[in-house]
Structure 1
Amino acid sequence: MAGRLQGEASAYLRQHAGNPVDWWPFGDEAFAEARRRNVPVFISVGYAACHWCHVMAHESFEDPATAAFLKENFVSIKVDREERPDVDAVYMAATQAMTGQGGWPMSVFTLPDGRTFYAGTYFPPRPVQGMPSFRDVLEAVASAWKDRPDEVRESAGQLAAHLASAQQGNRRLLGTVLDTGLESDTGDDAAAEAEASHRVLSGAVETLAGLEDRQFGGFGGAPKFPPSTVLRFLLAHAGTGASREASAGPATASEAAELADRTLGAMARSALYDQLEGGFARYTVDRRWAVPHFEKMLYDNVQLLSLYAQWARTAGDPGDRRLALRVTRETADWMIGRLRVEGGGFASSLDADTVIEGHRVEGGTYSWTPGQLREALDPGHAQAVLDLLDLESGNMAAHGGTPGPDGSIGSTLHFGRALSASEEELWLRHRPSLLAARNRRPQPERDDKVVAGWNGLAVGALASAAVVLADMGEGTAEKEEAARVLRAAEDAASYLLHVHRAGPTLRRVSHDGRAQGIEGLLEDYAAVAEGLFTLYAATGNEQWYTEAEALVHAAEQRFLVAGVLQDTAVRPNQLANAQGAQAAADPLDGPTPSGAALFAGVLLTYSAYSGSLRHRALAQALLRHVEVVGAQAPQAAGWAMSVLQFLLDGPRELAVAGTDAAAVADLLRAARDAGGPGLVIASRIAAPAAEAGTAFETRVPLMEGRDPGSAAALAYLCRGMVCRRPVSSAAELSALITGE
């Protein structure tokens, strides 16, 4: 019965444990039951924070008559797309192939061997605007299965063949990587290839400039999503190789900087960003960024936290830098306060809906009527505060908002413009009153499952935020805040290593401190390694480096099969049947960076630390698809383009060692201010030579031979492990980096 879902790690599955539908989790047992009964399989895919998933659940899955029909004619499987992106990807491809669109909830009908023969997304309880009811769909599918089985099987076979050809497309994009072919190009060939790559990346900037919404920021129209991986590339392109003021660098660097500035600024001043507490919603339904779909996803916020931390350091406008630093601080605080689970990991999401008096109200926690705002504010300043907000653009009634129990539909807290210094002071002074009033409302539910890959990115984002807060903070409180954020990064890293790791393997999800379900995917291994490398750069603690190194080697062994990169180490038979036996990693980004792009990035970082030319060449090989898609479809390759930009820049390697912690910190701060995002940093604080008693030891090849003796601090700037003479002052190091 649906009680099978009760012990699952996924909150989405547990939410359906009490349904009258006889749900099964995805697995061999469910498909074996379908074969035994000779019935088709119904697979329902969604996630805990999904508004329309809740709607369909209430309308159809809680209906006893619908549940009885499903039980009689199907084996029903419930899938959390966040827990099983491998399942979601296969059946989403099938849904898009059949209908031309996709989304969640996703409703898929398969043979007992896993091959799809019918698919759709949300189906209403009654026919509406040409859309059949869910019951109509069930009856039609059941009838086809009984009356036209040969047609059903033929359709499933044709679709599986089509999906198999798509897998071949992924294989062609990524190419085949064999050890015998992993030698770096040299001489004229290398120069020609680098020049071609520069042209592709500059072309990507120009394409993005043509897609920009110059009025409201971002790219394209409604619905509008935060373009996180693209922004990572734009900041890399703007800052790699030289400071913004220097004349070196690509001709499109300033254009990339302006694109990033406008989009990051627009999002931070909009209702996409929670103006009371921090953190970003999944997307907005309008182009103004004024009316969000209110779920807050960990994977969005960790990417955006990293971006705003970087923007705080590199933005050209002082007001932008101040805004970016505030967003960095608030978003880190929100993550720690709202998403952190016992043990130090981070939960997956907060729901889009709030249950108010027994009814699900989308955005019920976050929206305000003018009367509610006035009631929460000091009467003497209420109108002045309201005048800061664009309540008309944020009016949810114009976008089909859900009325609350009292029938009212509120507005979002949307500025839509840059505030002056005095306006910002007014808002920040009165914001606590609004937050206190909001905290007294019912709050959205939280999906407590911990996803390894997203937590790996959280480790890196928090470490980056902590470094920026420490470097740019001026008082004791700011330093203490930075230390608290860094401790959260270290706690999350420890949680992943103690809970999710089992020997050389990594589990994808955990709940209540216990790993459950499938082995991690390529994106999990790569994202955790990414986070650990970033944490090592922030702390100099070599434990994090060695753990990241182990994950890099494990990922090579698990996901490189006969020279082909794959997203999964172990693929269920049903998925192999559904999309062909030969699989390849999908190199294109979705809401999160692709596993292939993440892996290329950690391979490049590892090569910079270790000096391994083989790993550098492997990273370069995995980036070849950028030449195909970069300039034409940059929004699908943002993370890979940023990695390619770092590769073209060297990357540059910095080793800092010294006996004085403050002097080492000064050099590191100067390097981060001058070096841009392509700088790989290693550091070590050593005992003075007279006190050491033992030789200078390190597990990081970049640090080998960097014994500072009695020097307070020495910095070595290198390319390909070939280093300049050491320098000891921040000014010398800054000049060395920017003058390269």
Structure 2
Amino acid sequence: MPNRLADPSSAYLRQHARDPVDWYPWGEEALAKARAEDKPILLSIGYAACHWCHVMARESFADPATAALMNEGFVSILVDREQRPDLDQIYQQAHSLLRRSGGGWPLNVFLSPQGVPFYSGTYFPAEANEGQQSLRDVLGSVGKVWRERRADLARQDAALLDALAETLPRADPRAVLDARVRDQACEQLGSAFDAENGGFGTVPKFAHPTDLAFLLRRGRDEDDPAALHMALDTLAKMAEGGICDQIGGGFFRYSVDARWRVPHFEKMLCDNALLLALYADAFALTGESLFRRMVDETAGWALREMQAADGGFHASLAADDAQGREGRVYVWESEPLRLALSPDEWDVCAAHWGLVDAPDFEGRYWQLHVARPAADLALLLHRPEEMVEELIASARTKLLAARDQREHPARNEQQLTAWNALMITGLARAAAVCERADWIAAARRALALIRSERWVDGRLLAMPGQHGFLDDHAFMLEAVLALHAADPQADDLPFAVAIAEALLTQFEDPADGGFFFTPHDAPALIHRPKPGLDTATPSGNGTAALALQALGRQVNDPRYFAAASRCVRVFAAQVQNEPASHTRLLQAAALND
């Protein structure tokens, strides 16, 4: 069969190019085939560093029998969510409406030939287990429904399209985003706060950097000790946990336990960019050496492992090694680690990183975390704390060199404009706090690449040859202003103005205010989102409003304040209903008063 996935711009599509599944990329060719053959579409959305995407690929998409079922009954479309965040947003939202549950990756959605989803799920196993159907069972059930219950599906399609339309924000003059709504956001976050371990909710446990930034800012600016405690306690617990790479720096995607001990081992540029800025703010506020170390190590990881020769930053590092084993690049057995260190280093580090305790990964390996802080070990061992810190630092250097001899995790070398913008902001804010000219230089190199290769005809590209989305423009406007604040250059503000004009002309809703995720001239899809929720990355609308306010102050242009005000106003009712899910927009509303 033809190899339609040999797309040099997507590592994820290339990973599936040898599957026996007759995959199509998203486009008119696949949609036309589904219409002509009256077949449902199986749309699978994932990304290159996704562990469970790889598991499903090995178990099902590489299996000839499963592939034969897909090829016979469906038109199969594979999408890289990093390339097409617009499709991912729409179908994740549809999944939450269809299943009344959260989404994730891989996302597998069954669509009519018109692109309307009627059944969805995330990971489907190869064999049924614990009440979960296998993918082969799902294919059979969905095929039967498609053949026998078409009228019911048509009614469901209409209802789903109505439900998607209802998710768009609508201005309500009665909705006011005052201090009481910010209080409610803090109360909601406080209800979800893990008082013992830091963080929010149960496992899997994500960092929620946008929420933490809101709490940190509130604690600083509004003298709220409870908000400040939630932010600083979470940041400290994460910094000492296994979700932080204690040897190489940077943070993993999330923790699979409540104590931040064992992570899901993929590393994402966007997560680390947001945490870099957040730890810099925490260090500026507290002067805590732990937070300064997180800034140094996260920036060091980004520049060492993620910045390309052309100045741009790569998207992610995979969780698995080449044999599909999760975390093996990072975890340790006790004896090889001991042999890599001097006796004095081992005496300190075995206790410091928990190697005197039971292994915490697969019953055999240790994922290093701070089990006993240096200050406690200094008292226990009757040694100066400075000496203990030096032994830990020298051991870290040796272990990183030893780990570098292992096979490195696969790196997704896509350079996404939006995520590069987040890293530019993180480096700029960290450099301003820590007085690091080399971080400014790294951020400037990334910005120069964006300006030379991604700014085309008055708008940003998300990737080469692909028009940018709201997040590309909002995050980049924020980045240019952050870099200008740390290192003013004459051409910064003119570029910021040009990005702002693209936001207003290409994305703003001229009737109701706020910004659509896709530009006005983008091909039509079943829904055009106007997202306000903060997710793994901050809300594009909230960021746009904040950045436009900041630019308005810089250049004294009332149009930017007016656009930010329209954005806040159209989302006010939604924010009032779920304040803790809209902290960026709440911040913009506070500055809008």
Q: TM-score range by the shorter chain?
A: over 0.9
**Cα deviations across residues 385-407 of structure 1 (Å, max 9, x unaligned)?**
1111235888444xxx4xxxxxx
Deviation at 1:278, TM superposition (A): 0.9
Q: Does 1:413 align with 2:411?
A: no
User: Is the partner of 2:237 in helix, strand or coil?
Assistant: helix
What is the distance in 1 between the residues matched to 2:194 and 2:481?
35
Q: Does 1:153 align with 2:168?
A: no
Tell me which residue corresponds to 1:143: 144
What is the distance in 1 between the residues matched to 2:188 and 2:523?
40
| Counterpart AA for 1:24 | Y
User: Is the partner of 1:384 in helix, strand or coil?
Assistant: helix
Deviation at 1:437, TM superposition (A): 1.3
User: Is the partner of 2:120 in helix, strand or coil?
Assistant: strand
Deviation at 1:30, TM superposition (A): 1.2
Deviation at 1:461, TM superposition (A): 1.1
Matches within 5 A, 1:257-276: 257-276=228-247
Residue pair 1:297, 1:350 contacting (<8 A) in 2 also: yes
User: Is the partner of 1:545 in helix, strand or coil?
Assistant: helix
- Select which of 158, 183, 194 maps to 1:202: 183
Residue pair 1:236, 1:646 contacting (<8 A) in 2 also: no
| Counterpart AA for 1:105 | P
Cα–Cα, structure 1 residues 28 and 626, in superposed 2: closer, same or farther, change >3 Å?
Answer: closer
User: Is the partner of 1:506 in helix, strand or coil?
Assistant: strand
Tell me which residue corresponds to 1:185: none
Residue pair 2:351, 2:371 contacting (<8 A) in 1 also: no
* Matched residue count: 580
Q: Does 1:438 align with 2:403?
A: yes
Deviation at 1:255, TM superposition (A): 2.8
Which sections of structure 1, spanning at least 5 residues, go unmatched?
177-188, 241-249, 402-407, 471-481, 510-514, 649-740
Q: Does 1:280 align with 2:251?
A: yes
Tell me which residue corresponds to 2:481: 533
Tell me which residue corresponds to 1:86: 86
Residue pair 1:523, 1:595 contacting (<8 A) in 2 also: yes
Cα–Cα, structure 1 residues 591 and 395, in superposed 2: closer, same or farther, change >3 Å?
Answer: farther
Tell me which residue corresponds to 1:706: none
Residue pair 1:227, 1:635 contacting (<8 A) in 2 also: no
Q: Does 1:171 align with 2:169?
A: yes
What is the distance in 2 between the residues matched to 1:632 and 1:419?
45
| Counterpart AA for 1:283 | Y
Tell me which residue corresponds to 1:61: 61
Residue pair 1:2, 1:20 contacting (<8 A) in 2 also: no
**Cα deviations across residues 472-525 of structure 1 (Å, max 9, x unaligned)?**
xxxxxxxxxx2221111001001111121211121112xxxxx033x1111111
What is the distance in 2 between the residues matched to 1:306 and 1:198?
25
Residue pair 1:530, 1:598 contacting (<8 A) in 2 also: yes
Cα–Cα, structure 1 residues 204 and 95, in superposed 2: closer, same or farther, change >3 Å?
Answer: closer
Residue pair 1:115, 1:574 contacting (<8 A) in 2 also: no
| Counterpart AA for 2:332 | W
Q: Does 1:37 align with 2:37?
A: yes
Deviation at 1:251, TM superposition (A): 4.8
Deviation at 1:640, TM superposition (A): 2.3
What is the distance in 1 between the residues matched to 2:198 and 2:373?
13
User: Is the partner of 2:491 in helix, strand or coil?
Assistant: helix
Deviation at 1:100, TM superposition (A): 2.4
- Select which of 429, 454, 469 maps to 1:500: 454
Matches within 5 A, 1:328-727: 328-355=295-322, 359-391=323-355, 395-397=359-361, 401=362, 409-416=364-371, 418-420=373-375, 421-422=385-386, 423-470=388-435, 482-509=436-463, 515-517=464-466, 519-564=467-512, 565-570=515-520, 575-576=525-526, 579=527, 583-624=528-569, 628=573, 633-647=578-592
**Cα deviations across residues 183-214 of structure 1 (Å, max 9, x unaligned)?**
xxxxxx9xx97xx6223223433433333212
Residue pair 1:626, 1:641 contacting (<8 A) in 2 also: no
**Cα deviations across residues 397-431 of structure 1 (Å, max 9, x unaligned)?**
4xxx4xxxxxx741211115643244433311211
Tell me which residue corresponds to 1:308: 279
Of all paired residues, the percent bearing the same amino acid is 37
User: Is the partner of 1:354 in helix, strand or coil?
Assistant: coil
What is the distance in 2 between the residues matched to 1:201 and 1:562?
28
What is the distance in 1 between the residues matched to 2:536 and 2:511?
27
Tell me which residue corresponds to 1:735: none
What is the distance in 1 between the residues matched to 2:358 and 2:581?
29
What is the distance in 2 between the residues matched to 1:109 and 1:13?
19
| Counterpart AA for 2:345 | H
- Select which of 196, 199, 209 maps to 1:218: 199
Cα–Cα, structure 1 residues 28 and 396, in superposed 2: closer, same or farther, change >3 Å?
Answer: farther
Cα–Cα, structure 1 residues 134 and 570, in superposed 2: closer, same or farther, change >3 Å?
Answer: farther
**Cα deviations across residues 524-561 of structure 1 (Å, max 9, x unaligned)?**
11101110111111111021211111000111001113
Residue pair 1:86, 1:568 contacting (<8 A) in 2 also: yes
**Cα deviations across residues 434-482 of structure 1 (Å, max 9, x unaligned)?**
1111111111101111111111111111111222221xxxxxxxxxxx2
Query: RMSD of aligned C-alpha atoms?
Result: 2.4
User: Is the partner of 2:370 in helix, strand or coil?
Assistant: coil
Cα–Cα, structure 1 residues 25 and 58, in superposed 2: closer, same or farther, change >3 Å?
Answer: same
What is the distance in 2 between the residues matched to 1:424 and 1:334?
20
What is the distance in 2 between the residues matched to 1:226 and 1:384?
29
**Higher strand proportion, which one?**
1
**Cα deviations across residues 14-45 of structure 1 (Å, max 9, x unaligned)?**
11112111111111221011112221111001
Deviation at 1:622, TM superposition (A): 2.1
TM-score (norm 2): 0.92
User: Is the partner of 2:68 in helix, strand or coil?
Assistant: helix
What is the distance in 2 between the residues matched to 1:449 and 1:381?
39
Tell me which residue corresponds to 2:113: 112
Deviation at 1:352, TM superposition (A): 1.0
What is the distance in 1 between the residues matched to 2:444 and 2:394?
33
What is the distance in 2 between the residues matched to 1:309 and 1:646?
22
Tell me which residue corresponds to 1:12: 12
Cα–Cα, structure 1 residues 62 and 297, in superposed 2: closer, same or farther, change >3 Å?
Answer: same
Tell me which residue corresponds to 2:216: 235
What is the distance in 1 between the residues matched to 2:571 and 2:193?
21
Residue pair 1:288, 1:416 contacting (<8 A) in 2 also: no
Residue pair 2:353, 2:372 contacting (<8 A) in 1 also: no
Which sections of structure 2, spanning at least 5 residues, go unmatched?
376-384
Deviation at 1:563, TM superposition (A): 2.5
Residue pair 2:532, 2:571 contacting (<8 A) in 1 also: no
| Counterpart AA for 1:452 | T
TM-score (norm 1): 0.75
Cα–Cα, structure 1 residues 409 and 626, in superposed 2: closer, same or farther, change >3 Å?
Answer: farther
Greater shift in the superposed pair: 423-432 or 323-332: 423-432
Deviation at 1:10, TM superposition (A): 1.8
Residue pair 1:40, 1:112 contacting (<8 A) in 2 also: yes
What is the distance in 2 between the residues matched to 1:638 and 1:19?
42
Deviation at 1:639, TM superposition (A): 2.1
Residue pair 1:457, 1:527 contacting (<8 A) in 2 also: yes
Q: Does 1:134 align with 2:159?
A: no
**Cα deviations across residues 277-305 of structure 1 (Å, max 9, x unaligned)?**
11111110111010100111111010011
User: Is the partner of 1:45 in helix, strand or coil?
Assistant: strand
